[in-house]
Structure 1
Amino acid sequence: MLSQFVSEAQDERIPLYPANAIPNFQKTSEVEKRDTTGTLRISLVQQPDITVYLPTRGIATGQAVVICPGGGYGILAYDKEGTDFAKWLNAKGIAGIILKYRLPNSKSNLVPHQSPLLDAKRAIRLVRANASKWNIHPNKVGIMGFSAGGHLASTLGTHFDAGDPSAKDAVERISSRPDFMILAYPVITMSKPNTHEGSRNNLIGTNPTEEMVKLYSNELQVTKETPPTFIVHATDDKGVPVENSLSFYQALKTNGVPAEMHLYPKGGHGFGLATGQGYLETWPDRLADWLKSIK
């Protein structure tokens, strides 16, 4: 019976919100698009969800990671920066939960910049609400993000809330603070010259106010309550300058937040697991070590 449960739990897709209760949403003629040429690329997300990959109970550590694929806030690189890592985490005894979050360039958003963070908060709450069912410890739920997904993960880590105790939906009463963060070649700042223009334009527009730039420049939003963080980046990244990670690491250090950063001289942008890329492909081993070390 146990093995049957685990098998059924693999690749279980769950809507983030109850039917007809998606916040910041309006129905339009748009439909979700999936491009399967090469890696799976998802765009125009209308119904956000999580897909749950669980390890076998015999090796489960109780940790869980909500994974935010990148794609410049325009698409989601769902396989390379989602499914691949969920399966890698499972092999380490960790639940991997892929977040298919709404993208701000969809007309279905009432306020475009709000939807990704709303979905990330909801994903953390939903995992904690199902922690017992999925053999997860509710205080071992982290977030992982790649590129623009790293911006979303770092936004959650600096803009979380304790939950709404008066909410009718019990899930909304749960804290959205991740217990740890994993950021791979992340977009961090919305300030020039180091921002990623595509992510910035999609999230806050081509002519944002200074207030919006500051709000989503997450190196400026770190506090002592920001969760412990693991960062990996390549120095030769031409898409998202390494200064994004450097500034975030410095902000974590200044605020006394435990942080580990690994910088590689070569690797470019979007290397994912970095399979076949020399010693860069050992970076997930460093992550595995770190995940074992955090409390």
Structure 2
Amino acid sequence: MSTFFFGATVLAQDTIMPLWPKDKIPNRIESDEKEEHVSEDIVRISKVQEPTIEVYLPAKKNATGQAMLIFPGGGYGILAYDWEGTDIAKFLNGKGIAGIVVKYRLPSDKSQTEKWNVPLIDAQRALRLVRSKAKDFNIASDKIGIIGFSAGGHLASTLGTHFEEKVYDQIDEADAQSARPDFMALIYPVITFTKSTKHSGSQKNLLGENPTQEMLKHFSNELQVTSETPPTLLVHATDDPGVPVENSLMFFQALKDKNVSATMHVYPKGGHGFSLARKDPHLRGWTEQLFEWMESLN
């Protein structure tokens, strides 16, 4: 694996780049907290201190010009980094799409100020950084989408609805780019914090023990949809025990109400956290639906 820093030409299929110059990471507090990696059935990353993007590029001859930033889930407590990250990027590469995994910071009282804004800060920066490097990555600057899983779906939907919100000060030319995704795929996403169908674990990790009603509404993304929210694909299983399907249904309705292009695939079975669902002949069809939808956007 090759690691490149700002201004470097991307030569490798899998390039890891820091989101921020080391001494300019917003909302960071120096602490003894250290990033942890646990590799068992999947790779779980927690306590991220220095967020990165990991870039997977298809061969130039296969490239469609589209790219997707990938936000792994994990309830804002961990990142399911390969299961809902690097495996997704490699899968996208097979269809000529650049896959860019965002290792975003998880909310921490110990190493951050205003922890509830930190994932969005990193998400905005990731989109802007990728857009600024579109030529290097052989992608079109107006074909950069996002895909998020579970709590990563909450972060993706937050970026898709709060992309104009100023949550950090510009540090370089990349920050002059728009943070608006061109399209958005939300896979079994956490959406609401105000309804009984919310995912309490994600809410607690992001907003703390006693969030105000105002904060709960601010991060209930079905309430934040506007006509500028990007075209969206939603995928969910009806029998999801962790994040009820109502999260996707509410977001779909909000998009429809604002006349935003919305596509939804609801499967009768699949539970939660199915990733590519390669072992389920019916459910794994969601990935082909994703590619067909992405082609329809062109």
TM-score (norm 2): 0.94
Instruction: Indicate if the aligned counterparts of 1:252 and 1:259 stay in contact, CA closer than 8 A.
Output: yes
Q: Taking structure 1 as reference, are residues 162 and 33 closer, same or farther at Cα in structure 2, changes over 3 Å only?
A: closer
1:37 partnered with 2:40: yes
Q: How far is the alpha carbon of 1:273 from its aligned partner?
A: 0.3
Percent of pairs identical after alignment? 58
Which residue number in structure 1 is paired with residue 31 of structure 2? 28
Q: 1:283 aligns with which of 282, 286, 298?
A: 286
Once residues 215 and 168 of structure 1 are traced to their aligned partners in structure 2, the CA distance between those partners, rounded to angstroms, is: 26
Which residue number in structure 2 is paired with residue 200 of structure 1? 203
Q: Taking structure 1 as reference, are residues 168 and 210 closer, same or farther at Cα in structure 2, changes over 3 Å only?
A: closer
Instruction: Indicate if the aligned counterparts of 1:237 and 1:267 stay in contact, CA closer than 8 A.
Output: yes
Please identify, of 142-151 and 272-281, the stretch whose mean Cα deviation from structure 2 is larger.
272-281
Q: Taking structure 1 as reference, are residues 22 and 113 closer, same or farther at Cα in structure 2, changes over 3 Å only?
A: same
Once residues 208 and 115 of structure 1 are traced to their aligned partners in structure 2, the CA distance between those partners, rounded to angstroms, is: 16
Q: 2:69 aligns with which of 50, 66, 69?
A: 66
1:222 partnered with 2:211: no
Alignment of 1:10-25 (within 5 A): 10-25=13-28
Alignment of 1:211-290 (within 5 A): 211-290=214-293
Q: 2:78 aligns with which of 63, 75, 79?
A: 75
1:132 partnered with 2:135: yes
Instruction: Indicate if the aligned counterparts of 2:27 and 2:112 stay in contact, CA closer than 8 A.
Output: yes
- Displaced runs of 4+ in structure 1, greater than 3 A? 5-8
Amino acid at match of 2:132: A
Q: Taking structure 1 as reference, are residues 106 and 92 closer, same or farther at Cα in structure 2, changes over 3 Å only?
A: farther
Instruction: Indicate if the aligned counterparts of 1:6 and 1:56 stay in contact, CA closer than 8 A.
Output: no
Q: How far is the alpha carbon of 1:123 from its aligned partner?
A: 0.4
What do residues 168-217 of structure 1 show as CA deviations (whole Å, max 9, x unaligned)?
Answer: 51011111000000100000001131110100000111221000000000
Instruction: Indicate if the aligned counterparts of 1:81 and 1:272 stay in contact, CA closer than 8 A.
Output: yes
Once residues 15 and 165 of structure 2 are traced to their aligned partners in structure 1, the CA distance between those partners, rounded to angstroms, is: 27
1:49 partnered with 2:60: no
Q: Secondary structure at the match of 1:132?
A: helix
Alignment of 1:99-118 (within 5 A): 99-105=102-108, 107-118=110-121
Amino acid at match of 1:263: V
RMSD after superposition? 1.7
Q: Secondary structure at the match of 2:136?
A: coil
Once residues 84 and 210 of structure 2 are traced to their aligned partners in structure 1, the CA distance between those partners, rounded to angstroms, is: 29
Q: Secondary structure at the match of 1:233?
A: strand
Which residue number in structure 1 is paired with residue 175 of structure 2? 172
Once residues 163 and 130 of structure 1 are traced to their aligned partners in structure 2, the CA distance between those partners, rounded to angstroms, is: 22
Structure 2 gaps, min length 5: 1-7
TM-score (norm 1): 0.95
Q: Secondary structure at the match of 1:51?
A: strand
Q: How far is the alpha carbon of 1:10 from its aligned partner?
A: 1.2
Q: Secondary structure at the match of 1:251?
A: helix
Structure 1 gaps, min length 5: none
Amino acid at match of 1:39: I
Number of residues paired by the alignment? 290
Q: Taking structure 1 as reference, are residues 168 and 42 closer, same or farther at Cα in structure 2, changes over 3 Å only?
A: closer
What do residues 67-125 of structure 1 show as CA deviations (whole Å, max 9, x unaligned)?
Answer: 00000000000000001110011001000000000001352111110110000000000
Q: How far is the alpha carbon of 1:162 from its aligned partner?
A: 8.4
Amino acid at match of 2:253: Q
Which residue number in structure 1 is paired with residue 296 of structure 2? 293
Q: How far is the alpha carbon of 1:8 from its aligned partner?
A: 3.6
1:155 partnered with 2:158: yes
Once residues 45 and 105 of structure 1 are traced to their aligned partners in structure 2, the CA distance between those partners, rounded to angstroms, is: 9
Q: 2:97 aligns with which of 94, 99, 105?
A: 94
Instruction: Indicate if the aligned counterparts of 1:73 and 1:105 stay in contact, CA closer than 8 A.
Output: no
Amino acid at match of 1:157: G
Q: Secondary structure at the match of 1:161?
A: coil
Q: How far is the alpha carbon of 1:38 from its aligned partner?
A: 1.3
